[in-house]
Structure 1
């Protein structure tokens, strides 16, 4: 099965697995709509793959509309959201369905990846 590996800052990555962040925000999303799973790479300073989640849906709209739809479970402040999407006409929110935190962290090499992706990378799981 094809999945995507996303680089996510540690503070936000852990909020996904704690359940307080139910949306992962992106300026661009992957084009392959058959992808239903996200592998979470917690970026620097952690630099470990910490778990995965199933995708419920992907919302795409103006940043203002996406914020209205997601703010209660965004896991971030409105200031961080606005700063991230500043100057953008389109925002994407990947809705987290179910999560699985790995009991033992994995490395990028476990997914045949040698450097952390700037945005995402397709992987086979």
Structure 2
């Protein structure tokens, strides 16, 4: 079978359900791959995305230097907020709003990964101590 021009000219008919199912499968496979990544790699990717958003947003709207962008983004991420530098344009303010919400998600995710790693590392010890306590209980 060769594909002729007249066949290519026909509209592709895809029903809504199969398109949603295909999208769902694709998203699920992406999410599974993300869950299987090392915590440090996840953190590095998230920070790269965070600082990329900052670079794009502030370099266009505020015309800040790279150092100022990294400085302000880091202060925003850590919630220090010195106040010595602040966006003045609407685009800069919108970028800051995006960074604040992204930072909350990033820090929350990072803390969850840290606690999960600590718990996983000590789970065996915890279970052994729990068994010992149960043996000693009257």
Question: Do they superpose with TM above 0.5?
Answer: no
Q: Which has the higher helix share?
A: 2
Give the TM-score normalised by structure 2: 0.20
Identify which of structures 1 and 2 has the higher relative contact order when contacts are C-alpha pairs closer than 8 Å and 6+ apart.
1
Q: Which has the higher strand share?
A: 1
Give the TM-score normalised by structure 1: 0.22
Larger radius of gyration: 2
